Amino acid sequence: MKTVIYLVLLGINSAASVIHSLKYFYTGSSHVPNFPEFVSVGSVDEVQMIRYDSSTETAEPKQDWMKKVTEDNPEYLAGEAEHWSRIQQAFKANIQTAKQRFNQTAGVHIAQRMFGCEWDNETGEVKGYDQHGYDGEDFIVFDLKTETWIAPKPQAVITKLKWDDNKASIAQWKNYLTQVCPEWLKKYVNYGRSSLLRTALPSVSLLQKTPSSPVSCHATGFYPDRAMMFWRKDGEDLHDGVEKGEILPNHDGTFQMSVELKSPAPGQKYECVFQLSGVKDDIITKLENIRSNKEKPTDMTPTIVALVVLALVIAIAAIGFLIYKKKNAKRPPSPVSNPEVMEQLNPSA
């Protein structure tokens, strides 16, 4: 019963409706060794499709289907690169401004922005957002409903007042988030449909370090990122004693996730269930008898080695994702036409 509710919330059972997203992350940093001062990453449905960074100052398409986009829009890459090189300068100035506001003199600082839109392909509903962060915390956030900026930090109040005052720029930004962004999103989804609208099933493995440790059910290689995974015991979905991990991106454009069964009781029938949006059949992996295994301890070594290696791989993937998340931290839109006004925190303040 509960599962049904979750499934409905996730839209997994309503086959037709899909929420697509276009998202841009900007990250500006100062004094981070071996890391570009500015990075912009654009993604569609959580799949990275374009990247710009200050070390090359070029915009690079990241998906095969982007070739068609750039062929049909010859100015696209140059336009994006030019836009982002301006943002790069703005971010540099923003970090200086923020440092002053926070009374900081030196050290490593990170400014991020994340903005974009979501579009429901059945209802046509569109949602937009724009959030700016500094040193890992929210700094200023756009509220599309009230068309005002929210300043969670006192240091952002000056910016809020200034930006709220600029009605023309707010109107332009609202237009970007609710019109331009979804238009481009639809274009991208159409260009990339053979890849973006595909489904790929994962391989699922059960991992356990020792007979008494938690059992982790790990699925990797699935697409899209609309998936659910849970444990069942004697036919009933388990909600207690399980720990669900986040869905994380793999480098090849697929996703992975895992769900851990904390303390499996001997003699019970457990199975791990994986469900992918748009795919009818679940992938069910049975947990065979968990025994104490004391009888044949020698057999366990290879398993443990394999499990430790897998655990490491997962840890590395997770760390990679965190870095990726950090790297990709901040704002704008899609191609070409986005208002410059919002780009600077307040350069002269």
Ligand X SMILES: *[C@@H]1O[C@H](CO)[C@@H](O)[C@H](O)[C@H]1NC(C)=O
Site for ligand X in 109-128 (CB under 6 A): 121-122
CA distance 293 to 167: 70
Query: CA 50 from chain center: how many Å?
Result: 14
CB 347 within 8 A of CB 131: no
Return contacts of 167-171, CB within 8 angstroms, 24+ apart. 168/341, 169/339, 169/341, 169/342, 171/147
- Residue pointed to by tokens 């669900």: 244
The DSSP H or E segment spanning 138 is strand 137-143
Closer residue to ligand X (CB): 3 or 121: 121
Please report how close the Cβ of residue 255 comes to ligand X at its closest, in angstroms.
17
Amino acid at 132: H
Please report how close the Cβ of residue 48 comes to ligand X at its closest, in angstroms.
20
Closer residue to ligand X (CB): 121 or 213: 121
Closer residue to ligand X (CB): 122 or 125: 122
Site for ligand X in 9-48 (CB under 6 A): 16, 18
Could you say whether residue 106 binds ligand X (CB under 6 A)?
no
Which listed residue (103, 146, 263, 348) binds ligand X by CB under 6 A? 103
Site for ligand X in 134-163 (CB under 6 A): none
Please report how close the Cβ of residue 122 comes to ligand X at its closest, in angstroms.
5
Which listed residue (93, 197, 317, 336) binds ligand X by CB under 6 A? 197
Closer residue to ligand X (CB): 16 or 168: 16
Sign of the dihedral defined by the CA atoms of residues 306, 308, 313, 314, in that order: positive
Phi-psi sector, 110: left (phi>0), alpha (psi -120 to 50), beta: beta
Q: Which two tokens stand for residue 100?
A: 């002053």
Count the residues of the shown chain that bind ligand X, applying the rule CB under 6 A.
6
Residues that bind ligand X (CB under 6 A): 16, 18, 103, 121-122, 197
